[in-house]
Amino acid sequence: MANRTLPRLLQAPAVIMLLLWMLVPLGMTLFFSFIRYVLNSLRRPEWTTPSIENWRGLGNYKYVLDAKDFWFAIQNSVFIVVSILIFTVIFGLLIAVLVNRSFPGRGIVRVLLISPFFVMPAVNAVLWINMILDPVLGLNGLAVAGINDLVAGLREFPVIGQFFSMWPELKPISFRASQTSAYAVIMMVTWQWTPFAVLIFMTSLQSEDESQKEAAMLDGASAWSQFINLTVPHLARPIAIVVMIQSIFHLSLYAEIEIVSRGNGNKNLPYLIGEFTSNNIGAASATGIFAVILANIIAIFLLRMVGKSLMD
């Protein structure tokens, strides 16, 4: 144990690589966030090269905080993340408990359930917004048209036709508008990440103390009260972990938003940074620093939890 050189040497490449990866780009972002820096400017060409002479102090931060887009993007990011969290945790819990018992074909059910998680995000978005949610050509549009045709057919009949003639003509929802496309994003990400929650809750359920449950059953506790009093507390830690990991992933949601809502106003923080990056690098960098702060608030809790379980 006396010689620490070798273990250090073995870790060095990984540590140095990650250190560079973290410090260099982040340091540049930090620097750019304090200077005036734009990609194109006819009036002030000197602002197009990053230089300390264009120092702006906290000006970029002020500019970003005053931008309406910024607050909307924050709100929208939080709205999307929290919605996804609520749906994935609830669905994940119910499905995990449902599948956590033996029945014919359980292995196949597991395989079917986990599959969405491995679909690449770009395909997920293209598939949902076109083939499923398109108001005319997708299943959404076809289903609504089918119902309308059915109702129209029923109107031809005597007596019941009278009843159906009072039914309204249904209109399919378009998921390409600003607000509805946020719902579309929530839907597709929930679909993709519920399997993740299911998988983690199932892993955790398998370590649940069965003898406790049996004792509860002998005491005449109902299935529901067992679920609430034994299973849910046992799952508290995995739930916390699912919530934190997903928060970090979904705060940087990008491909889905880019594909579903390009230019329609449904933006989150990463998307706003992308927009700023097309010209105003100073503002993009300041927004980036805010995103780092937001992610760090969650990451600290997660890392504490993970760190605790590390050495046992």
Q: Which H or E run includes 181?
A: helix 178-205
Assess 243 for contact with another protein (CB under 8 A): no
Site for another protein in 217-236 (CB under 8 A): 217, 223, 226
Q: Return the number of the residue (78 or 299) whose C-beta is nearest another protein.
A: 299
State which of residues 47, 61, 87, 128 lies at the interface with another protein (CB under 8 A): 128
Task: Report yes or no: 151 and 135 within 8 Å, Cβ to Cβ.
Answer: no
Site for another protein in 130-149 (CB under 8 A): 130-132, 134, 136-137, 139, 142, 145-146
Assess 2 for contact with another protein (CB under 8 A): no
Distance of CA 8 to the CA centre of its chain: 37
Q: At what angle do helices 68-99 and 269-277 cross, to 10 degrees?
A: 140
Q: Locate tokens 């010689």: which residue?
A: 3
State which of residues 58, 65, 111, 152 lies at the interface with another protein (CB under 8 A): 111
Start-to-end CA distance of the chain, whole Å, equals 21
The CA–CA distances, whole Å, from 299 to 54, 243, 245, 250, 309 equal 33, 11, 8, 13, 15
Per-residue binding string, another protein, 250-289, x by CB under 8 A, is -xx-xx--xx--x------xx--xx--x---x--xx--xx
Nearest distance from residue 74's CB to another protein, in Å?
13
Q: Return the number of the residue (86 or 160) whose C-beta is nearest another protein.
A: 86
CA-based nearest residue to 280, from 10, 38, 85, 82: 38
Of the listed pieces 58-66, 82-90, 125-133, 165-173, which binds another protein according to CB under 8 A? 125-133
Site for another protein in 146-165 (CB under 8 A): 146
